[in-house]
Chains A and B, each alone.
Chain A
Amino acid sequence: MEYQSVDDVQERLTAAGYIPSREIATVVFLAEATQKPILVEGPAGVGKTELAKAVSRSLNRELIRLQCYEGLDEAKALYEWEYAKQLLYTQMVKGRINDIIADADTLTVAVDRIAAQEDAFFSDRFIQPRPLLQAISSEEPVVLLLDEVDKSDPEFEAFLLELLSDFQVSIPELGTRKAVRIPFVLLTSNNYRDMSDALKRRCVHLYIDYPERDLEIRIVRLKVPGVEEALVRSLVEAIRRIRALDLKKNPSISESIDWAQSLLALQARSLSPGVLSDTLNVVCKYQSDIEKVRKNLDRVLA
């Protein structure tokens, strides 16, 4: 089910509900072909996470998602021992332990015998896999999405390096686990802080910007099929002019889609100043931005 060519990527992503630019398709194709992770950057709402979802749909693979945040550590990302279960089992098998050491003459022999059994307690049975371990040990190839990796701590980033270059992780008690099937990894970043050079070297980079006009029109029409083409056209034009206004938060593709949906719900035929003014809070997320757009209504609808 791998991608055959750049064109193939473009077709299959489109079929999965994501219209990629040629650059996105090329990068996705290359990353998949050479098994490199993709570091996706770009303004909020341009479809970074959506790309990962579309890739998983088009490759027909499961999507495993790890949302990164400050303070995320290995126990949350990789694995955790199930202490309660371990302790409970220890209590329950106490009798058996007595049997094992019943005929041991000295303490040393008894300890040796117990040591021979310790694998029983540090085994897969008591491990609770978190997203990264799941992705590594899955029998079927998966798509692994590390969302907003820039929010995580530098320590976690360093920990990711082993995973991203060799597709293996180390669990002290069990040894190194190599990936059964190499997952397709996507990392997204909102540029909260710079990622380290070491991490960047291991990934290919993809910057998704606001799309070209025609592409955006196609995207909106794909996502909101009921809206008339002329309306979509004027909506995208208006969005592009709003982006030129230097707002605190520029409307993204997700806002375009939301807007088209609300216009559909309002059964608006055209983008009149009244309609625009009523629906502005779908497009802009800050009061000051809304006021700014209101002031420049004539420019937006020119």
Chain B
Amino acid sequence: MVDLVLKFVSSCRASGMRISTSEVLDCLRHLERIDCAREDEFRAALRTNFAKSVRELAHFDRLYRLFFHEFRLDAADVEAAGRFADQIGDLARRLAPEAAPEAEYRAVVDFLAGDPQGLLRALHRIRTESDASPQTVKFNLAPLEGRLKLLMQILRVGDVAQALVKSEMTDLDAADRRALAGHVGERLDRARALLMFEPLPDADGIRKNVDAGERLKQLGEKPFSSFTPREMEEMREAIGGLVRKLKNITSRRFAVRNRGALDVKKTLRAAARYNGVPLDLKYRRKALRKGRIVTLCDVSGSVWSAARFMLNLLYSLQDCFDRVHSFVFVDRLTEVTEIFDTHEVNEAIGRVLGKADVGFNATTDYGEMFRHFKRGYMEILTKKTTLIIIGDARSNYLSPEDAILGEMRDRCRRVIWLNPEPEAIWGTADSEIYTYAPWCHEVRPCRNLNQLIRFIEELVL
């Protein structure tokens, strides 16, 4: 039993789940107390110890099914695998001589023999490893290439194995030989299915946006992209009013913030007035926690019109936050925090557009942007940071690199994606929003002022 669980744990780890030794120990202790012959209990014990968040559950279920059902490693009901155990072992030895050729080939043969670790690890690598070198011509090929390589090896192992069964296993009768060949074929089919199936974490946990109330009726419902210059001016005024209001609300909040511990010095000083009797207790004030914000703004085409209002609002409210870092990107990131620090908001927005090293002519590439962020800026994300990404997630069919967004999520408090496109066309054509969505805590449309205001209010208050 211990051995079986350990094997399962290493398979889980190979495919990217984080399981600590203490969790394995807990699980083994738990298994002693239940009836392991009842599968629902056995499964519940494993699940409760190994899948510690909603997002890992789907992943766990998949591995569990693979390991305990499709594989039937040590279980007694394995008809084919049990009957042909020796032959399969023999086959595996013949398929992979000592000087193992490529790692992928080895992995596939191991899979055939009942050990999925190698294959799972290879798959995990393909999914998460990003293309380190940005080429002049961009390809989406690295993951595809890795997949193709594995697929070729599966086919190769299949061919060799079938030939071996035919020529070498002469001590079996024809029916058994057919059954063995069928079993080998089935396992390889499963390996192929694994390769083709893209696991995505469950997106159930993300919050859905709730519509803004009816405020600023006409202007508020108009998409940012269809503003005339005059309306732009009106908009700025409206934002100015809103900023004043929000600041009022927050300052009131500072005034009534929770009291902290007793302030002895102040209390004693106040007591002097009452002949040394401390009638009037003074408390130390607690500093209100302020959020840290990192924004990544897509400045290509239509998205910019939404992003500029968002930036305008954020920076007008800067004293409500601890620090605002902002980046703009088309295919690479450019840090613009400094421009906003040294210039007045509206002027700064104009300057960003004129900044030379933003590649306005390039095609949008979210994958490259994430790679760039990972290389250069990962350490600005802390557990206090709220990461806001504004963009349509249209990355011209280039690799989305959503695994990096996953890493970023691990480092910060919340990830919020604002999409200026209407919800109806999300996920169409090259939109990768649903690929990114599972990694975000919140995905919301941000097409007009009402939606934007609603969002900012939730952020500040």
Contact partners of A193 in chain B: CB under 8 A: 413-414, 441
| With contact pairs A23-B40, A87-B278, A194-B409 given, residues A43 and B208 touching in the complex (Cβ less than 8 Å) | no
Contact partners of B45 in chain A: CB under 8 A: 26, 30
B53 x A36 contact (CB < 8 A): no
Contact partners of B262 in chain A: CB under 8 A: 81, 83
Contact partners of B261 in chain A: CB under 8 A: 75
Complex alpha-carbon distance, A205 and B57, angstroms = 10
Listed stretches B28-36, B94-102, B156-164, B304-312; interface member: B28-36
Complex alpha-carbon distance, A83 and B280, angstroms = 11
Complex alpha-carbon distance, A81 and B52, angstroms = 37
Complex alpha-carbon distance, A188 and B392, angstroms = 34
Complex alpha-carbon distance, A204 and B22, angstroms = 12
Instruction: Looking at the assembled complex, report how far the CB atom of B46 sits from the nearest CB atom of chain A, in whole angstroms.
Output: 10
Residues of B271-306 at the interface with A, using a CB-CB cut-off of 8 Å, are 277-278, 281, 286, 288-289
A30 x B20 contact (CB < 8 A): no
B277 x A43 contact (CB < 8 A): no
Complex alpha-carbon distance, A70 and B384, angstroms = 13
Q: Within the complex, which residue of A26, A34, A71, A153 is in contact with B41, where a contact is CB–CB below 8 Å?
A: A26
- Once A and B bind, how many residue pairs between them come within 8 Å at the CB atom? 99
Instruction: Looking at the assembled complex, report how far the CB atom of B407 sits from the nearest CB atom of chain A, in whole angstroms.
Output: 13
* Interface size grouping (class) on chain A: 35 or more
Of all chain A residues, which has the CB nearest B40? A22
Complex alpha-carbon distance, A22 and B205, angstroms = 23
Contact partners of A29 in chain B: CB under 8 A: 33-34
Interface size on B, residues (CB 8 A): 47
Residues of A234-293 at the interface with B, using a CB-CB cut-off of 8 Å, are 248-249, 286, 288
Contact partners of B41 in chain A: CB under 8 A: 6, 22, 26
* A212 part of interface (Cβ distance < 8 Å): no
* A200 part of interface (Cβ distance < 8 Å): yes
B210 x A205 contact (CB < 8 A): no
| With contact pairs A29-B34, A36-B26, A83-B281 given, residues A71 and B52 touching in the complex (Cβ less than 8 Å) | no
Map CB proximity to B onto A32-47 as digits: 1 under 8 Å, 0 otherwise. Answer: 0110100101110000
Contact partners of A71 in chain B: CB under 8 A: 258, 286, 288-289
Complex alpha-carbon distance, A25 and B407, angstroms = 34
Complex alpha-carbon distance, A140 and B232, angstroms = 66
B26 x A34 contact (CB < 8 A): yes
Q: Within the complex, which residue of A201, A204, A248 is in contact with B48, where a contact is CB–CB below 8 Å?
A: A204
Contact partners of A249 in chain B: CB under 8 A: 208
Instruction: Looking at the assembled complex, report how far the CB atom of B294 sits from the nearest CB atom of chain A, in whole angstroms.
Output: 16
10 tightest CB-CB pairs across the interface, nearest first? A26-B44, A200-B52, A191-B205, A23-B44, A83-B262, A204-B48, A22-B40, A205-B52, A87-B278, A30-B30
* B4 part of interface (Cβ distance < 8 Å): no
* B49 part of interface (Cβ distance < 8 Å): yes
Q: Within the complex, which residue of B44, B204, B211 is in contact with A43, where a contact is CB–CB below 8 Å?
A: B204
| With contact pairs A6-B34, A30-B33, A201-B23 given, residues A22 and B44 touching in the complex (Cβ less than 8 Å) | yes
B289 x A26 contact (CB < 8 A): no
* B323 part of interface (Cβ distance < 8 Å): no
Complex alpha-carbon distance, A145 and B110, angstroms = 47
B29 x A248 contact (CB < 8 A): no
Q: Within the complex, which residue of B30, B211, B409, B410 is in contact with A34, where a contact is CB–CB below 8 Å?
A: B30
| With contact pairs A75-B260, A193-B414, A248-B208 given, residues A30 and B48 touching in the complex (Cβ less than 8 Å) | yes
* B166 part of interface (Cβ distance < 8 Å): no
